[in-house]
Amino acid sequence: MSEASVAVHADADLLAQAVAARLLVKLLDAQAERGQASVVLTGGRIAAAVYRAVAALPARDAVDWSRVDVWWGDERFLPAGDPDRNETQARAALLDVVPLDPARIHPMPASDGPAGDDPEEAAARYAAELAAAAPGTAPLPHFDVLMLGVGEDGHVASVFPEHPVHYESRPVSAVRGSPKPPPVRTTLTLPAINTAEEVWLVASGADKSPAVGMALAGAGSVQLPAAGVQGTGRTLWLLDRAAAADVPTRLRSLR
Ligand SMILES: O=C1O[C@H](COP(=O)(O)O)[C@@H](O)[C@H](O)[C@H]1O
């Protein structure tokens, strides 16, 4: 398990640009080492800005997108194409722009998909899709990088504070009663998230600073899920100055 490190950028735009550049480098490094790369996407405002920034970078063409697997850390359980689905946002911002292999794009099921309007079945199907891509009998494939937004309440993916999802041992869970709309979701659980080689927590804006500060100060993960995130090789907090306002100075590298 890795110690967390923190990089702070001046504002949300520079943060998105910097994360986009990091993502391209990470995908290139993974392809150089393993012949392929895998990324786990997140939803939310800063994530969409990162995806748009990746799409706008000329260096995006250095990545062989046909050898990139795209997974999601969570999804709002809504019909396919709903503008509030994390998948819809990622497709519009990036996935429809780069030449990915459609077979390597792995969205979480929609509420009008083959799993029907049943989030538990949707979670089970996504777990099966992950296991099918994993080596041997492992439940999960290798994730080179897993990106997370951070909610004002400290939630990551759709793991919310004090929610029963914390006690789910399977890698993918249905979430009912989400405090943030929509109320029904599917999510990777924290143990599944923490199998990723690198986990990047990306946050911008002053409304995120209390949660970010408390997570880095060692809050409990049931109360503050972001505090329970740890990549196997690297845990990186990527923040703008406003989101970093409560981060202890000794943890910051300011850019
Ligand atoms: O609902 C969700 O919210 C979080 C954070 O979103 P933001 O707009 O406040 O950045 C996101 O990370 C998660 O994937 C999403 O489902």
Describe the crossing of helices 12-34 and 45-56 by its angle, rounded to 10 degrees. 60
In tens, the pLDDT along 205-250 reads: 999 999 999 999 989 999 999 999 999 999 999 999 999 999 977 7
Alpha carbons 211 and 225: distance in angstroms, whole number: 10
Count CB-CB contacts under 10 A for residue 63.
23
Nearest-atom index, ligand 1, CA of 178 = 1
Mean pLDDT of all residues belonging to the chain: 96
What does the DSSP 8-state code read for residue 131?
H
Q: What CATH number was assigned to the domain covering residues 7-156?
A: 3.40.50.1360
- pLDDT, residue 202, reads 98
CA of 16 to the centre of ligand 1 (A): 15
Longest dimension (CA), the chain: 50
pLDDT tens for each residue of 70-128? 999 999 999 999 999 999 999 999 999 999 999 999 999 999 999 999 999 999 999 99
Alpha carbon of 43 to ligand 1 centroid (Å): 5
Helix (H) or strand (E) holding 172: strand 172-175
Separation of CA 252 and ligand 1 centre (Å): 23
**Closest residue by CA, ligand 1 atom 8:** 44
pLDDT surpasses 90 at 30: yes
List pLDDT tens digits, range 126-158: 999 999 999 999 999 999 999 999 999 999 999
